[in-house]
A = this chain, B = another copy of it.
Amino acid sequence: MSGARNITAALRRARVPRPRFAIRTVQSLTPLTARTFSASSTRTSDSRQIKFTSDAYPNLKRNPNFAEISAEDVANFKELLGSQSAVIDGVTTDATDDIEPFNSDWMRKYRGHTRLVLKPQNAQEVSKVLKYCNERKLAVVPQGGNTGLVGGSVPVFDEIVINTSRMNQIRSFDAASGVLVADAGVILETADQYLAEREHLFPLDLGAKGSCHIGGNVSTNAGGLRLLRYGSLHGSVLGLEAVLPDGTIVDALSTLRKNNTGYDIKQLFIGSEGTIGLVTAVSIQCPPRPKAVNVAYFGLESFEQVQQAYLAAKGQLSEILSAFELMDGRSQKLVIESTGNKHPLEGEYPFYCLVETSGSNAEHDMAKLESFLESVMGDGIVADGVLAQDETQFQALWRWREGITESLSHLGGTYKYDVSIPLSDLYLLVEDCKARLTEKGLVGDDDSFPVRAVVGYGHMGDSNLHLNVAVRQYSKEVEKAIEPWVYEWIQKRQGSISAEHGLGVAKREFIGYSQNETMVKLMKQLKNLYDPNGIMNPYKYI
């Protein structure tokens, strides 16, 4: 990749008016810590310090219709699954240390009281387990890599955790059609590496890729970094295998790109967060792996210019545009503070963008990128920027975007809002939220203020903002200042209170801000149809 020379030449041709508008190469980007995070970070005894969800949400009461797990149940599960390693038994033994990682989430925000974890190996075993639980009215929580952000994959009370980690086989891949069939418990990165060896790409990428399971991705309808290029899972998932609460195995694992023979029932499992069934396998359409990938990172003076840059990228990079990410100045300062790394740009800007292209011809892609840079810098839209020169710099630039979540997690707690708003108002929410919290005297640099920072970043190309309020510790005062105000703000603009994270426990009460009464009624009707005993992932959004 000889980008630097090309870009410099391009800028010379563009006769850029202000000298600081020059694209520089990245000289010495120090890698941040690993790009992926893992649920194992919570797998220590200090998870006991995490507040129980049942205490944090005192209005949640254990459903008295659910049975309590008995020693006989445990014995039956051991027989059904026929393996010691498939059952972590905290009912008849003291297995607290082994159980705790499954009780709490990686954000240390949600913690349940389960005493039993089951790890079935295939749909047949899941079917036996669910049928038994349904008959006994034992509540369950499906759990993949436990990387969710709304407390959707951990128990609230004593629900049995059904973990998918032992369903981890890739079943087939057909290079001609690009269709991958894999068990739900395959880790996203593992699936993508498998595909990379076969010159294909998993059509989903996200920060937690090293831990999350593809079954969990499908169940939460994960969006991630490249949705604007590869589309929604509702389009790319061709088939599913899932188990209903009554033990029915839904075999809709078609590998066909087109199949118009009746209702597309598999769609109901995509994004329903394990509340109507447990996904055990996925068939997915994977695109050829791009031969050339470029990343540029910019500083911009205003959100107006961010919008202009996005429209220019959409128009000029068009079919090769694979990501357009937004990061505000505060979020980048947090990454600097937490990693000590040198920022790739010299000046400070209120906004930064990361633009990625993916295509089949490096020369063509660079020419398009050059022309795009020429136009946005010539027009004064972009103030300064760098272009990755090799794989190391590529990864390093991405870490300025992907490292935000981890940097925030070092600060204490984070109130996370993952919202969809019309593009023109996207950043206004961060400004309004900060003004509100400042006005209430909650924000400050010293430890007497509960709020450390209000930051915004996200997937500009999908109109998807992550508003994060970093706090020194979780407090009702801060929560009350933000909620329901933030949801009302979003509702006024016909936005979504959960663009890609789902509802889980965190947003269970707020669905009405993004769905009307009829829709909620129809959802409840479906929930009752498939799960009349309500055993699947209870106390969550439905």
Contacts and interface: CB of A to CB of B under 8 A. Distances in A.
Contacts of A360: 315-319, 368
29 contacts: A221-B260, A221-B264, A228-B257, A231-B235, A234-B235, A234-B267, A235-B236, A251-B516, A256-B495, A259-B420, A261-B507, A261-B511, A261-B515, A262-B503, A262-B511, A262-B515, A262-B541, A262-B542, A263-B271, A263-B522, A264-B270, A265-B526, A267-B270, A288-B315, A290-B318, A319-B358, A319-B359, A361-B364, A529-B529
Contact of A259 (B265, B318, B496, B541): B496
A525 B314 CA distance: 43
A450 to B, nearest CB: 28
Contacts of A529: 525-526, 529
A499 B522 CA distance: 29
Contact of A288 (B221, B265, B318): B318
Given A268-B264, A516-B251, A256 B499 contact: yes
Interface string A470-500: 0000000000000000000000001111111
Nearest to A233: B235
A395 interface: no
A27 interface: no
Nearest to A418: B260
A257 B288 contact: no
Nearest to A357: B319
Copy number in this complex? 2
What 8 A-B pairs come out closest when comparing CB atoms? A235-B235, A318-B360, A267-B267, A258-B499, A259-B496, A364-B364, A261-B514, A256-B420
B463 A223 contact: no
Contact of A261 (B267, B307, B497): B497
Interface in A213-233: 220-221, 223, 227-228, 231-232
Given A307-B176, A319-B359, A361-B364, A499 B260 contact: yes
Interface string A227-258: 11001101110000000000011111011111
Contacts of A261: 496-498, 503, 507, 511, 514-515
A228 B499 CA distance: 26
Contacts of A227: 257-258
Given A254-B494, A262-B520, 19 more contacts: A176-B307, A177-B422, A220-B260, A221-B264, A223-B258, A231-B231, A231-B236, A250-B518, A250-B519, A256-B494, A258-B500, A259-B498, A260-B496, A260-B502, A261-B497, A261-B498, A263-B276, A263-B542, A319-B358
A336 interface: no
B256 A496 contact: yes
Nearest to A275: B263
A424 B542 CA distance: 45
A145 to B, nearest CB: 17
Contacts of A256: 420, 463, 494-496, 499
A523 interface: yes
Nearest to A520: B262
A503 B358 CA distance: 39
Nearest to A231: B235
A321 to B, nearest CB: 10
